[in-house]
Amino acid sequence: MIAPTKYPVQRRTAGDNVWLSRAGDDARAALASLGARTLNYEVLDSEAAVGRAMLAELEMAAAEKDGELTIILLGGRGAQAMHRLLGQLAETNQADQLLNRLNVFTQDALAPMRMENSFSFVRDFERLLGEDFFRKVKSFTSMRTDTNDLEAGLIDYLESLSAHGEIDLLFLGLGPEAGGASHLAYIKPASGAGATDLAGVIPVSSSILEHHITKFKAGGSAVSAADEAECRQATHILTLGPAAFLRAGRIVQSIVDADTAPAKRASFQRLIETEIDDDIETRQRQLDENPGLWIRLHPNVRSLILPNVLA
């Protein structure tokens, strides 16, 4: 166990990976309780249409609940169209009643790295969402990447997330991995993530590092050679774990960048075609080999893709 905090956390290692869960949670029982589902995806005609659909999901979540709303933002290309729309709305007073209710959290990060680095998701959020958005939302919490104790910083993040109750809406993408595998947030294959793991600190892989840098450049971020050099020195990934996804009220997935990340086509096909086994040991092995499959264990998912994902 780690030192006691307001938020009781169990620390577990899987090789060089560190996973954090609520103390006392039973990973095997949690996995056994989950039913596998078909991923019913929708093909939209443009990235702008995906952005509008994601914004509509946020508006619907706000309409269905009184009071504060807790959401997890998606970094990189997948949600940029929605972020631009939110940024435009924040410049007016049209959506103030919605924005003022939002507790906004990030879902992953490369570390160690200065928070000011242009390859940080936070900088990309600032660029697209704008100052007015951050001024109007109720709170914004990101994973700390500039601390000497990454685990302690991640526990602080989990404490803040827990204080806001259930995640109402979680935006996710899909990252490509070798052999048609995939990652969600930054849970990479063979990292040992389990059904009760809320967050993890895992060594960065060369494939994820290249994917991160490529998608930032393709998405139009203004980046410098010095920032890229620092980003390439990152040694670990901070990421939400499967338990955070599974406990979200609703997941909205978006995949819009198959042209710049063509490996996503094979990853998506494997995601929708894999038969998830009922045997718990076999199921855990499938999920560890292909973490993208975790999304198919959630009962309330909307997956939005472009035609080029199926090309």
What percentage of the chain carries pLDDT values higher than 70? 97
d(CA 215, CA 92): 30
pLDDT in tens, 184-208: 999 999 999 999 999 999 998 887 7
Mean of the pLDDT values across residues 134-159? 95
d(CA 55, CA 283): 34
pLDDT at position 38: 97
d(CA 87, CA 128): 6
pLDDT at position 191: 96
DSSP state of 171: E
> How high does pLDDT run on average in the chain?
93
pLDDT at position 3: 41
Mean of the pLDDT values across residues 270-292? 98
Local structure of 16: helix, strand or coil: coil
d(CA 106, CA 238): 10
Say whether pLDDT at 1 is over 60: no
In angstroms and rounded to an integer, the radius of gyration of the C-alpha atoms of the chain is 18
Say whether pLDDT at 222 is over 80: no
Q: Residue 24 contacts by C-beta under 8 Å, 6 or more apart in sequence?
A: 8, 10
- What is the reported pTM? 0.92
Q: What is the band of 219 on the pLDDT scale with cuts at 50, 70, 90? A: low
Q: Which amino acid is at 211?
A: H
Q: What is the band of 2 on the pLDDT scale with cuts at 50, 70, 90? A: very low
pLDDT at position 6: 60
Q: What is the dihedral of CA 130, 131, 132, 138, to 10 degrees?
A: 110
Which has the closest alpha carbon to 236: 137, 161, 154?
154
Say whether pLDDT at 4 is over 90: no
Angle at 259 between CA 258 and CA 265, to 5 degrees: 35
Higher pLDDT, 301 or 121: 301
Mean of the pLDDT values across residues 242-249? 97
Count of beta carbons in the 10 Å neighbourhood of residue 59: 12
Q: Are the CB atoms for 153 and 147 separated by under 8 Å?
A: yes
Q: What is the band of 7 on the pLDDT scale with cuts at 50, 70, 90? A: low
Angle at 126 between CA 125 and CA 131, to 5 degrees: 135
Q: Are the CB atoms for 50 and 43 separated by under 8 Å?
A: no
DSSP state of 184: B
Q: 51 — alpha (psi -120 to 50), left (phi > 0) or beta?
A: alpha
Say whether pLDDT at 296 is over 90: yes
